Structure 1
Amino acid sequence: MNSLPLYNTKSDTWTTMSIFGPTPPDRGYPSAVLTSDERIIIFGGYNNVTTFGDLWILDLTKYQWSIRNILNPIVDLVLYRHAATLVDNYMIVAFGLFSENNMSSKIFMLDVSHKDSYRWVTEFTPNATTTTTTTISSNPISSNTISSDSKNVSLIIGAIIGGIIFLVIFVIAIILTPKFINKHNALLTN
């Protein structure tokens, strides 16, 4: 975690950047998102001993790691094999495992709008700087105005949640199909 391989898509070459600061402990199955201001935010993970609920930030402008505290931590929120995505200034963390046999059916939202403070939230507020208004009507007397971004955000969130639900159902089907086939084959051989 102290050196970062970088691939340049234009020149088709690899380089290695040295990373400074404390480094995250080794882990598998964390989530990671890239913010518009060049931060990679890593949450959770598992290393065969510990399930993590920590938040690590890799600042790509300085190539520096830092660990950040969440201002309002959720008690005992440790998670791995979960999904995460970034919508506006919110890291949406969904599903995963709390422990080996304890699956999560919850969705969490982390406000990542500030580089130095992170907070779990329960309400999504679209970024005000990206909100635009679209007028639908050529008649100046009765023009209907709607917020196109608020509809787009709703569609994006719906698509993300739908995709995550599909992914969970797909994974469950993959896990259960071999068990069903083995059980069916066992019945046929008896």
Structure 2
Amino acid sequence: MIQSTIHGRERIVPAARAVFSTVLGLDGQSVIVFGGDSEPPLSREFALYVLDINKFRWRIPGISGKIPASRSFHRTLVVGNYMVVTFGLGYVREDDNDILLLDISNNDEFAWTTSFVPPPLTSQSPTPQSPTQSSSQSNINTIGIAIGISIGVIGGIALTVGGFFLYKQYKNRKERSTAIPTPGNERINIKYS
């Protein structure tokens, strides 16, 4: 963590890092930064920062739960009240899960957790489909996938066969152009007047 002094006040600035992830906070006024790769490697305490996009101020939020190791080349997204962190590099799988859940519903203190509570259905949420709708859509999707796979397989075979014949034709032309003429095999073009 880098600290700088501005007019007698300390401000927190995250260490330079690469291959980190960001998500927009639930309030729409903050950006949550997690993980990344830096030199020296990031410690667990300094892997998570929040940027207030109105004031452009960084802060390290209060965190509860088992803090996971920082990771890089991972993906994050927001689902309901959770920031979901998936896979990545730089952590020990025996110590941390491949998928992490950070409850970001409380702006003052985030919580690393292992339990997911899905958001309740609201009038804006899509309503569940009846079984007949979902089964007919499933059949349509299955037929579409089967047609797509068939076209892909046939196209792949056609490209392979066509490529093979083009290669053979190219190879035969190359052999004819580099062949040494043998006496007696020349064609004689005689013009009769």
User: Displacement, 1:124?
Assistant: 1.8
| Conserved 8 A contact 2:73-2:89 | yes
| Conserved 8 A contact 2:34-2:70 | no
User: Displacement, 1:26?
Assistant: 0.7
**Structure 1: gaps (5+ residues):** 1-19, 138-143, 145-190
Cα distance change, pair 23–87 in 1 and its aligned pair in 2 (3 A): same
One-letter amino acid matched to 1:56: Y
Cα distance in 2 between the residues matched to 1:78 and 1:26? 14
User: Displacement, 1:47?
Assistant: 1.0
One-letter amino acid matched to 1:82: H
**Structure 2: gaps (5+ residues):** 1-9, 132-193
User: Displacement, 1:79?
Assistant: 1.2
The DSSP-based 3-state class of the residue aligned with 1:113 is coil
CA deviations 1:40-70 (Å, max 9, x no partner) are 0011111132134321001123322101242
| Conserved 8 A contact 1:22-1:65 | yes
Cα distance in 2 between the residues matched to 1:133 and 1:34? 22
Cα distance in 1 between the residues matched to 2:53 and 2:127? 35
User: Displacement, 1:119?
Assistant: 0.6
The count of corresponding residues between Structure 1 and Structure 2 is: 116
> Is 1:63 aligned with 2:56?
yes
Cα distance in 2 between the residues matched to 1:39 and 1:129? 25
Cα distance change, pair 134–31 in 1 and its aligned pair in 2 (3 A): closer
Instruction: Note the aligned Cα RMSD (angstroms).
Output: 2.9
Alignment map for 1:13-162 (pairs within 5 Å): 21-37=11-27, 38-53=29-44, 54-74=47-67, 77-98=69-90, 106-128=98-120, 130=122, 134=127
Identity of aligned residues (%): 34
Cα distance change, pair 55–135 in 1 and its aligned pair in 2 (3 A): closer
The DSSP-based 3-state class of the residue aligned with 2:105 is strand
User: Higher strand share goes to which structure?
Assistant: 1
Cross-structure match for 2:182: none
Stretches of 4+ aligned residues off by more than 4 angstroms: 102-105, 131-137
Cα distance in 2 between the residues matched to 1:98 and 1:41? 19
Cα distance in 1 between the residues matched to 2:14 and 2:100? 22
| Conserved 8 A contact 1:52-1:79 | no
The structure number with the bigger radius of gyration is 2
| Conserved 8 A contact 1:44-1:52 | no
One-letter amino acid matched to 2:81: N
